[in-house]
């Protein structure tokens, strides 16, 4: 039997891995600009955390969660999304009292046992942000603006936001009944899972991929209470100030049980369809319902694969070495290795293949490496205490420098 990766899992190879790294770097830069700090939470948690937080009527929990019983008989799950762990950590570590500003980001792998399909994996990376403890529309406008800037910084072009408000518990109470009555009258047309869950969560039907589009036109609309309406219009005013392009769409419902008030999705002209790149929303009741203090919150998550797909045609970050060291004679190995060490100590990325191989083979590797210079030490150079510097990418004369001067000489040429 040959060993292979599991179905739905993949290896992330160079240069795709470099693309992922550059997306993460862009995200970290933007998070720093907005005062967000990194929160790293465990990959495995009690299964109950996700059932309670993500919601037992969501597809994620109903069908896609990697859950199992561990050696100690505990029901655990590898995280399908980031928010529940962050909320648990917030409560468990009393971050409402001890934290700086309630703004956290995470970059990590998530797991969902989806049926494998093109471009979707069972282990995937998400970048997410959560702001806990700020109920004002300023938080909404800030976090949405940050998401758009982050996508732009990473290179995703033509971003615009689709916005809606799902209201608070108060506005939802009346709406729940109206919607439920409407759905009960139309049960015959609903898909099987929705038939089974409308009593528990009627709004899920609006978000259902099968029923949502059918219901979108005729389903009764939520009317916001004065507080929610004020919050929503202020959020829009603030987005105008931050210069984010947006559109209100009252049929936007996000597929998680915990969303309240503002919900949003970002679309990119690069996708050329109505598909969202990512999204998020407020979850003002979640922290309290998980046993924490009353703390309004808002967050979003973006799949790094999805971003990478949009950036695929752009050149990956250049991570070729600056110099490639070659030993053109067997006895030159020691000096070549010392030079390699000195170049790296001087902060100049350098590589080599194998100083015991032929000159021809080492030069082939040098060309393949993408380095700007080959530094060659042969018999003549050994005698003279020099190194031959050869331009790899363009034709030019080979020059000779004293071996001790090589790091500073190359530095000078690289910055020129």
59 touches Zn ion by CB under 5 A: no
Nearest to 168 by CA among 59, 296, 301, 254: 296
Helix (H) or strand (E) holding 108: strand 103-111
Minimum CB–partner distance for residue 49 and Zn ion (Å): 26
326 touches 378 (CB < 8 A)? no
Sites for Zn ion among residues 290-329 (CB under 5 A) = none
Helix (H) or strand (E) holding 350: strand 350-351
By beta-carbon proximity to Zn ion, the closer residue of 191 and 384 is: 191
Q: Which stretch binds Zn ion (CB under 5 A): 96-104, 164-172, 232-240, 340-348?
A: 164-172
167 touches Zn ion by CB under 5 A: yes
Minimum CB–partner distance for residue 228 and Zn ion (Å): 3
44 touches Zn ion by CB under 5 A: no
Radius of gyration of the chain (CA): 28
Q: Please tell me the distance from the alpha carbon of residue 298 to that of residue 163, in angstroms, as a whole number.
A: 14
Q: What angle do helix axes 304-311 and 137-154 make, rounded to 10 degrees?
A: 40
Minimum CB–partner distance for residue 211 and Zn ion (Å): 4
Size of the site for Zn ion (CB under 5 A): 11
Minimum CB–partner distance for residue 191 and Zn ion (Å): 4
Query: For residue 164, is it left (φ>0), alpha (ψ between -120 and 50) or beta?
Result: beta
Q: Which stretch binds Zn ion (CB under 5 A): 12-20, 24-32, 169-177, 379-387?
A: 169-177
Q: Which stretch binds Zn ion (CB under 5 A): 163-171, 323-331, 359-367, 382-390?
A: 163-171
171 touches Zn ion by CB under 5 A: yes
Minimum CB–partner distance for residue 212 and Zn ion (Å): 7
Q: Please tell me the distance from the alpha carbon of residue 103 to that of residue 88, in angstroms, as a whole number.
A: 15
Long-range contacts of the stretch 67-71 (C-beta < 8 A, 24+): none
Work out which of 154, 168, 371, 377 binds Zn ion, going by CB under 5 A: 168
Q: What angle do CA 302, 166, 192 make, to 5 degrees?
A: 80
Minimum CB–partner distance for residue 184 and Zn ion (Å): 14
Minimum CB–partner distance for residue 177 and Zn ion (Å): 15
Tokens of 323: 């110099």
By beta-carbon proximity to Zn ion, the closer residue of 52 and 204 is: 204
By beta-carbon proximity to Zn ion, the closer residue of 144 and 205 is: 205
Q: Helix, strand, or coil here: 64? A: helix
By beta-carbon proximity to Zn ion, the closer residue of 230 and 385 is: 230
180 touches 199 (CB < 8 A)? yes
Sites for Zn ion among residues 188-227 (CB under 5 A) = 191, 194, 208, 210-211, 225
150 touches Zn ion by CB under 5 A: no
Q: Please tell me the distance from the alpha carbon of residue 223 to that of residue 235, in angstroms, as a whole number.
A: 17
137 touches Zn ion by CB under 5 A: no
By beta-carbon proximity to Zn ion, the closer residue of 192 and 313 is: 192
Q: Where are the alpha helices (DSSP H) in 155-248?
A: 169-185, 192-197, 203-207, 212-218, 226-242
Name beta bridge partners: 326. Answer: 376
Minimum CB–partner distance for residue 169 and Zn ion (Å): 7
Name, in order, each residue with C-beta under 8 angstroms of 334's C-beta and a sequence gap of 6 or more. none
By beta-carbon proximity to Zn ion, the closer residue of 89 and 210 is: 210
By beta-carbon proximity to Zn ion, the closer residue of 222 and 410 is: 222
Report how far Cα 214 is from the mean position of its chain's Cα atoms.
32
By beta-carbon proximity to Zn ion, the closer residue of 38 and 170 is: 170
Tokens of 79: 């995280």
Work out which of 29, 75, 170, 380 binds Zn ion, going by CB under 5 A: 170
410 touches 391 (CB < 8 A)? no
By beta-carbon proximity to Zn ion, the closer residue of 184 and 312 is: 184
By beta-carbon proximity to Zn ion, the closer residue of 59 and 265 is: 59
Minimum CB–partner distance for residue 213 and Zn ion (Å): 10
Name beta bridge partners: 350. Answer: 323
228 touches Zn ion by CB under 5 A: yes
Which residues make up the interface to Zn ion (CB under 5 A)? 167-168, 170-171, 191, 194, 208, 210-211, 225, 228
């Amino acid at each position: 039997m040959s060993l292979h990766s599991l179905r739905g899992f993949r290896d992330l190879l160079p240069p795709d891995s470099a693309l992922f790294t550059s997306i993460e770097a862009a995200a970290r830069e933007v998070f720093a600009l907005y005062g967000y700090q990194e929160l790293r939470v465990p990959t495995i948690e009690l299964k109950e955390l996700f059932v309670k937080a993500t919601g037992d009527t969501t597809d994620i929990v109903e069908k896609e969660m990697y859950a199992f019983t561990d050696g100690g008989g505990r029901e655990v799950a590898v995280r399908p999304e980031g928010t529940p762990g962050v909320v648990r950590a917030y409560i468990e570590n009393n971050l409402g009292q001890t934290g700086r500003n309630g703004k956290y980001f995470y970059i990590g792998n998530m797991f969902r046992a989806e049926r494998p399909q093109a471009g979707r994996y069972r282990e995937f990376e998400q970048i997410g942000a959560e702001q806990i403890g700020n109920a004002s529309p300023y938080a909404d406008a800030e976090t949405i603006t940050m998401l758009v800037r982050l996508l732009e910084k990473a290179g995703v072009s033509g971003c615009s936001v689709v916005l809606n408000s799902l209201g608070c518990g108060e506005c939802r109470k009346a709406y729940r009944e109206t919607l439920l009555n409407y759905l009960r009258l139309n049960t015959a047309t609903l898909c099987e899972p929705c038939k089974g869950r409308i009593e528990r969560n009627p709004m899920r039907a609006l978000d259902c991929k099968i029923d949502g589009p059918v219901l979108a036109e005729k389903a009764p609309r939520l009317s916001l209470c004065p507080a929610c309406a004020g919050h929503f219009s202020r959020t829009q005013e603030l987005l105008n100030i931050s210069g984010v392009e947006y559109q209100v769409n009252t049929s936007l419902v996000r597929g998680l049980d915990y969303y309240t008030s503002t919900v949003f999705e970002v679309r990119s002209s690069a996708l050329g369809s109505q598909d969202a790149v990512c999204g998020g929303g407020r979850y003002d009741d979640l922290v309290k319902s998980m046993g924490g203090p009353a703390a309004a919150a808002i967050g979003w998550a973006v799949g790094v694969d999805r971003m990478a797909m949009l950036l695929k045609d752009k050149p990956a970050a250049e991570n070729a070495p600056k110099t490639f060291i070659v030993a053109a004679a067997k006895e030159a190995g020691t000096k070549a290795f010392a030079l390699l060490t000195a170049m790296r100590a001087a902060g100049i990325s350098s590589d080599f293949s194998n100083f015991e191989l032929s000159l021809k083979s080492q030069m082939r590797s040098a060309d393949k490496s993408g380095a700007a210079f080959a530094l060659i030490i042969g018999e003549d150079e050994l005698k003279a205490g020099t190194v031959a510097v050869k331009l790899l990418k363009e034709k030019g004369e080979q020059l000779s420098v004293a071996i001790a001067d090589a790091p500073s000489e190359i530095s000078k040429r690289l910055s020129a």
